Structure 1
């Protein structure tokens, strides 16, 4: 019996050495989770071997090799596609439909723009539809599209402007954009047509009387509706004694509400070879462009534009990618626009110890682990994501070196048990 007891001890010590050695070998592996050998004693069930406190054990057996899913240190790398999970959850990857789960977040892109790990497994998450809306609940391969963003024609210009109430009526009349003595204040705004061409919308303000101003508008220096004409569009603005805008009238704009002027019949144009402004074949936003000047005031302070919101933009290509704590992928484009192009999904399990190691710092779902619960980062029990960082191995090297010494001592002690039993056996044989 003692031979078997000693042999089981040698096997257990060898298993412990293997587990400890594997932990030490992977101390630098990103996302690696250390393992622990768990042992249990053995007792033979027999009527002839005694019972209760007189029962002698039959040695030791390995009950489990348990993964320790404690948090590893998060180390900054600076690479935008490197991801680390703070808290619960696993990244979900797919290889031709075979799903794996990992804590190693060293990702990049392949030739098709798919976000992949070093083994080519594709990161899973939530994509966006044709309208750019996130499609939650349906996992898909996350892709970084390098396609250019289509241009958008400017449809709204909202501005906050103050006109100096102490200004005098200009000394020269009528208004002439080339004569600064015929107006009090001017500024320009970039607007875009349907093809993404940039145009300059200029506004000129002329004081006509107490609490009364005229606003003149040109696009690229010409009439918005007739590129061959330099006659601007115009609107009359009136203010009350408190300096607030109280009315607007115009023959060139459709006045929707107080101070909301729709620029109609805008014809995008550009210079031809002769320097003439001619239509360029593009179009303005459908329905014209809303020029909202409701916030215009007339106070006794310097004329100035203090706020402006304008939509529309030129076409643009992807210039950078960023990922936030909630897993949203933001694409920033050369035209200054940014948009969500996807969201990383995470998975967690009722029994993480039941996951089956698959190599490459990956795990597979098993019956013991239960089915995965999939969700967005930073929601429910899911951890958040740190971009530009990786989670280190959670191996405590000092502890593992101590375990190595203990396993070695255990191995030597169990070998001594067998050696002692062999000596006793020889003694018995010599007596016969």
Structure 2
């Protein structure tokens, strides 16, 4: 069985990280898997790149320009909308022709167009599509922000000026997707049970097969290490409790920095001793922008690509906090838990599937900064912290290990091939 995993980027972004890890997990399980990407960032032989062409850049720019026009030339929401009006035809590539199954992941921003996907489906090869967000099941958005129109038909999109209209851009793209999906079968895989449930509500995916399989993680790389040595390598305090926040861009509203800031300030107010024995480490871009707002000392670590250093960051922490307002199955929580770090997050999306409340972390009430502060303090003051840490590692080994996830995907591939054979 030969699998071609298709993703816009090789390494940048959560979907890219997950797709790359899946490729390695499949290869380690005896399945031949390759990645096809637009943005190749390594010399890995199992990762192929789209042919060199000025059109690759144009596909991205053309889509952004069309979206920009529909936003009345405002940059607000510019990168929250994707319409897949431009992309590359990959069906003539050797990697595509040699594959038994085409496995789509995050293919936006000029990687594949809806027409490109139609050509893939018309090739007759079974197609599996892993949903890293809700975009495949909506008109144009990656996160619904509570909007329920995708359950019937997208319209009046809140991302468009004035809240859109009854026949706006979201409606137009919805209709294109609906025509595409009505003609073809795709095996959709959500990364969490929560997203599976949301996808099954979509009128767009009615009649399609939908299941959930979590992202994998390499526990040979992400595992507990000596905390003091990790802190010394990062030049972090060795005598303080460290609260960690991680995001590619920490100012992203969806990641909940405003609630994190509020929770930390409440924690410092309710427990004055925290100012003396706790500090915050922030991994991600724009960390310096938020540091002055926090009541505890902050160590901005910036954006880091080096995996060994990232593992050090997790191992240096005593608690990891991710107050996302909408999320699927965050790689960051999985990485922290694999390193034995208890996590705190809101009860939203796939987060409650990862964190067992008061067993390996704390699940706070949604958008409740006071409960978030309670959760952080509960972890840091827990008399059986070692047990929390062990339970976090156990959860990852049981649910997200390479072997566990690869075996579940192999089942999905076999079912997709059997369905295609049955239809023929």
Could you tell me the TM-score, scaled by structure 1's length?
A: 0.16
Select the structure that is richer in helix.
2
**Please, what TM-score do these two structures have when normalized by structure 2?**
0.16
Rg larger in 1 or in 2?
1
